[in-house]
Structure 1
Amino acid sequence: MADEIEIARERIRRLHDLAREAAGDGNDERAREYVRRARRVAERNRLGLPRRFKRFTCDACDAYLRPSVNARVRLRDGHVVVTCDCGTQARYPYE
């Protein structure tokens, strides 16, 4: 059981890296597919996604977010607001 969970975590990390590379190359659909697969692996194994993965993906359209390319990042009172091109906003606190 523990080995299966480690395999799933490694696969999620690898899919995150592949999504970042695909988004950097301008292949947004492929990056979106990698994000969907990583979320599915996490669901099936009842794992949470790493913080870095959650912060760089859109929950609504599964896009891999790249600031100033397909996402807008703004600082507000005590939190960061990330707005995807689809219009979805995510807020994360900071000190």
Structure 2
Amino acid sequence: MSLAEERIHRLHALAKRAAADREFDRSREYVRLARRIAERNRCGLPREFKRFTCPRCDVYLRPGVNARVRTQDGHVVVACDCGELKRYPYRD
């Protein structure tokens, strides 16, 4: 694992902890920094990181706190407080 990937994983953990403490501005900064590191080093973000961050407002999503999770016709729909919707397919 490269240094950039290790740093992205660390920032993911920090963003998750900050969102759990309801410090959404701090979690937003961690997410933005992790995305910037991934872009500069041309490495992808982990699936869990992509699924639990809002692409519009960059906040780490906590279901029941600042995000709503629903299932619809074979899709999981995650709605952020800012209004952004993300859909992911699932199998039965």
TM-score range, shorter chain: over 0.9
For residue 63 of structure 1, the aligned residue among 53, 59, 66 is 59
RMSD across aligned positions (CA) = 0.8
* Percent of aligned pairs sharing the same letter: 68
Q: Deviations over 1:10-56 (max 9, x none)?
A: 00000000000111111110000000000000000111110000010
For residue 9 of structure 1, the aligned residue among 2, 5, 9 is 5
TM-score by length of 2: 0.96
Quote the residue 1:32 is aligned against.
28
2:65 alignment partner AA: V
Q: Return structure 1 stretches of 4+ with deviation > 2 angstroms.
A: none
Quote the residue 2:82 is aligned against.
86
TM-score by length of 1: 0.94
Which runs of no fewer than 5 residues in structure 2 stay unpaired? Answer: none
